[in-house]
């Protein structure tokens, strides 16, 4: 469902899409493109306490060989069995994958891995910063990483400078901060903060945090759009009813998409120019489609997949083409969500 004021462009039958072969049992979730569109990271989740991280090389929208499981030192698989997590991947602009991981009974830490390399290595030592480290995000130039640590008992935001290897506290409160995201020039960080049972958005800039959007329910997982707008998920209409909102300044909020299928963990996926946001829908009769909406709410493009419960979209433009990665069930009776890649060049102006 979209706002009545927007224009829906139906594109006929299912578009051409290539399936990424995933042999492991579990739902494929959270696809994340490298900056050059040559690699795609994604998670496989069995909903049994373990999440594995895979990476596949992509050429002209096709997976080149089988996806590779990212391995961590001390194990023959990603992590030891039983409650292990490898998730939340982000790509450094030079092609290194950074993600959070933990094995059973251990803290979540940040790791890095390069395609073609051996196992992943821990990025920050316990002496630099303790506790669980989660929600990594990186500036466009790759020089600064932001993340969340609970070393003080709450989730606070820290930064790490690659040039100096220094860790510093950037934002803290008596509540839990989460989901930080740098803007285009790295001068500001949007993030969410738990507050009296809900979740509000803040922007950290110049060493100070300023409230951006509050309200009923959760305002969650911000991402930066064109012109300094912040795009986020909101469930102010009720716990199971998620929408996409846009804020262009403190207190400003506009809903541009309703009844969105909430990704398990990802922020709203934006086009490289920050003008379009991709989403799936929770409306059953429309759930075989992915939608791409202008951030100003003026237009929505409808992409039919021919599959079931399509969601978890991720956009990238590279080599003159625009690619959409998404997950979906092959049928109503299928056990696991599969990963697909669609060429949407020309379909999103």
Task: Indicate the domain borders of the chain.
Answer: 7-343
Q: Count H helices, E strands: the chain? A: 0, 30
Sole residue written with tokens 């102006």: 349
Which residue blocks in 80-123 are alpha helix, DSSP H?
none
* Alpha carbon 38 to chain centroid, angstroms: 18
Strand partners, 29: 43
7-343 — its CATH code?
A: 2.120.10.30
Give the tens place of pLDDT for each residue, 209-263.
Answer: 999 999 899 999 999 999 999 999 999 998 789 999 999 999 999 999 999 999 9
- Residue 103 φ/ψ, nearest 5 degrees: -105, 170
Which residue blocks in 67-122 are alpha helix, DSSP H?
none
pTM of the shown model:
0.92
Give the tens place of pLDDT for each residue, 256-285.
Answer: 999 999 999 999 999 999 999 999 999 999
Q: Which residues touch 41 (CB under 8 Å, ≥6 apart)?
A: 31, 32, 34, 53, 54, 55, 70, 89, 91, 97, 99
| CA R_g for the chain | 19
Q: What is the mean pLDDT of each run of 10 residues along the chain (349 residues)?
A: 39 68 92 97 88 95 94 53 80 96 84 90 95 96 97 92 96 92 97 90 95 94 97 93 97 97 96 97 96 98 96 96 97 94 92
């Amino acid at each position: 469902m979209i706002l009545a004021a927007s224009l829906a462009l139906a594109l006929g039958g299912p578009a051409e899409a290539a399936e990424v072969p995933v042999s492991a049992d579990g739902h494929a979730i959270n696809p994340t493109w490298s900056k050059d569109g040559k690699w795609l990271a994604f998670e496989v989740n069995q909903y049994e306490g373990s999440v594995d991280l895979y990476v596949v090389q992509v050429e002209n929208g096709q997976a080149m060989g089988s996806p590779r499981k990212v391995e961590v030192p001390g194990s023959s698989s990603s992590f030891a069995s039983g409650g292990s997590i490898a998730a939340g991947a982000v790509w450094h602009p030079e092609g290194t994958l950074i993600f959070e991981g933990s094995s059973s009974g251990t803290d979540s830490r940040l790791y890095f891995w390069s395609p073609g390399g051996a196992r992943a290595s821990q990025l920050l030592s316990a002496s630099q910063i303790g506790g669980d480290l989660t929600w990594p995000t990186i500036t466009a130039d790759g020089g600064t990483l932001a993340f969340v640590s609970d070393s003080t008992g709450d989730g606070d935001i820290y930064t790490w400078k690659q040039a100096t290897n220094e860790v510093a506290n950037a934002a803290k409160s008596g509540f839990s901060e989460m989901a930080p995201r740098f803007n285009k020039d790295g001068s500001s960080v949007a993030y969410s903060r738990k507050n009296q049972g809900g979740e509000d958005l803040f922007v950290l800039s110049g060493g100070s945090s300023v409230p951006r959007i509050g309200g009923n329910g959760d305002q969650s997982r911000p991402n930066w759009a064109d012109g300094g707008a912040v795009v986020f998920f909101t469930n102010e209409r009720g716990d199971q009813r998620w929408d996409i909102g846009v804020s262009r300044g403190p207190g400003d909020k506009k809903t541009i998409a309703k009844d969105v299928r909430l990704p398990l963990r990802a922020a709203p996926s934006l086009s490289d120019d920050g003008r379009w946001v991709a989403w799936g829908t929770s409306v059953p009769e429309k759930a075989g489609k992915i939608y791409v909406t202008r951030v100003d709410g003026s237009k929505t493009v409808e992409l039919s997949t021919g599959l079931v419960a399509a969601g978890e979209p991720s956009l990238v433009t590279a080599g003159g083409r625009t690619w959409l990665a998404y997950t979906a069930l092959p049928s109503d009776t299928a056990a696991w969500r599969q990963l697909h890649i669609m060429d949407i060049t020309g379909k999103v102006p």
